[in-house]
Structure 1
C-alpha cells in the first residue's frame, strides 16, 4: 500500500502533486516483484497503472470531492488471496451515488429559470453565473431559488467581463450582525425569527467579540 503518485496516473486539478526526494512520480517498475497487488491512494479517479505483471491500482476516493469529478464511477475493490498471498481474484464494485453533484452555467435569466424548472432535489450544486455588471445580493437570490427546489448550492462563481470593477458597498448598505443572524435563523427554521432570549444571547456574543478586538 502507498499514498503517492505513480507515473501513468491521470491527475485532475483537485489533486496535489506529490514529490518524494525531488521526483515528481514513482515508476510502476519501482515496486517489488514478489507482491501480488499494490493498492495506492492519492488520485481520486479509479485507475490501473500499466507496467507490471500484477495489478497496481488506485481505488480512488469513495465519494466525489470536487465538481469536476462528477463523471467518475467510484469503486472499491474486493480482493481474494490464497494462503500464500497469491492473488486469486480482484473485483471492482461500483459505489452508489448518494448525493449527486451538478454544475449549472449561464446568465442570470437562464440560471434562475432553470432553478424553477429543473430537478435539483437532494443535489449539491455549483453555479457559474455570467454577469455583464456586478450586482449585490445575486448570490443569495441564486441560493434561495435552488433551495426552494430542494437543491443545495455550495458555490456561486461570478464571471464578469474583464476589467469590471466589483461593486462598492457603503457602510449604510451593510447589515448589522443581528440582522444577518435573524435572516439566517429564518432561512433555517421556516421563516421563524429567533426568540428574544436567543437574540439577546447573540447580542452578548457580538459585544464580547467587539470588546476583545
Structure 2
C-alpha cells in the first residue's frame, strides 16, 4: 500500500482469497489499491486498475493506466492496458551536496515539469530564507527534507541535563523540522512553559498544607 491508501476490512477480515471469485465471471475489477496489478491466483481474469494519478511520493515509480475490457457472452474477456502519461510526474531528489547541487540540476533543466520531493543534506539547519530560495529555484518543489550531520547523534542524559529549556526546544525543532525555529516561536514556547510552571506551584503548596 502507498502512503495515500488506508487499510480496509471486509467482514472483519483484512483480505479475501482470490479463489473466492466466481469462476463463471468473465472479469473481476477490483478497487482501492493504487498500484495497477494482476491477481494471478484468481480463477478468472482479475485486476486492480490502480489510481489514474499518483497521490503521494511513495507512488513516484508506478506506471498509471486504465484497463479497457471488451466482453461478449461465452467468450474470454479482451483486455487492453492504456498507459496514462498526462499530468506532472512525481520525482524524488536526493541532493547530497546541498543547495548548490539543486541549483545545478535546475540549470540543467532536470525534471522541469515535475513535482519534486527533495531530500537535502546540509551542514546547518535551513533558514526560512533558504527554503524560499529553494522554492524559487524550482516551482515544483513540494517537500524539503533536510538531513543534518548530527541527526544520528543522541545526547546522553547528562548532556541533556545541562541544556536549558530554550536549547532543548531549539535542538528538538531543528531535528524534527530541519530548520531553526523563528525567534517568536521560541519566545512563545518559553512563555508557555513559564505559565505551566507557575500554575503547578500553588497545587504543590496546597498539597503541603493539606498534609
Q: Which TM bucket (shorter chain)?
A: 0.5 to 0.7
Gaps of 5+ in 2: 155-170, 175-179, 187-211
TM-score (norm 2): 0.66
Aligned counterpart, 1:68: 58
- 1 CA distance for matches of 2:88 and 2:50? 17
Aligned counterpart, 1:91: 80
Distance 1:49-1:117 versus aligned 2 partners, 3 A rule: same
Q: Does 1:80 align with 2:93?
A: no
What are the Cα deviations for residues 5-59 of structure 1, in whole angstroms up to 9, with x where unaligned?
xxxxxx3344222222331111111222221111011111110112223111000
- 2 CA distance for matches of 1:104 and 1:79? 37
Q: Does 1:156 align with 2:144?
A: yes
> Which structure's residues are more often helix, by fraction?
2
Q: Aligned-pair distance for 1:69?
A: 1.9
Gaps of 5+ in 1: 1-10, 174-213
Larger Rg belongs to? 2
What are the Cα deviations for residues 139-184 of structure 1, in whole angstroms up to 9, with x where unaligned?
211111113xxxx1122122233255422422399xxxxxxxxxxx
Q: Does 1:140 align with 2:129?
A: no
Q: Which runs of 4+ in 1 moved over 4 A?
A: none
> Which structure's residues are more often strand, by fraction?
1
Matches within 5 A, 1:97-116: 97-106=86-95, 107-116=98-107
Q: Aligned-pair distance for 1:72?
A: 1.6
- 2 CA distance for matches of 1:111 and 1:60? 32
- 2 CA distance for matches of 1:172 and 1:155? 22
- Give the paired residue count: 159
Aligned counterpart, 1:6: none
What are the Cα deviations for residues 54-87 of structure 1, in whole angstroms up to 9, with x where unaligned?
11100011111122322222111111111x3754
Q: Aligned-pair distance for 1:127?
A: 1.0
Aligned counterpart, 2:41: 51
Matches within 5 A, 1:170-189: 170-171=183-184
RMSD: 2.5
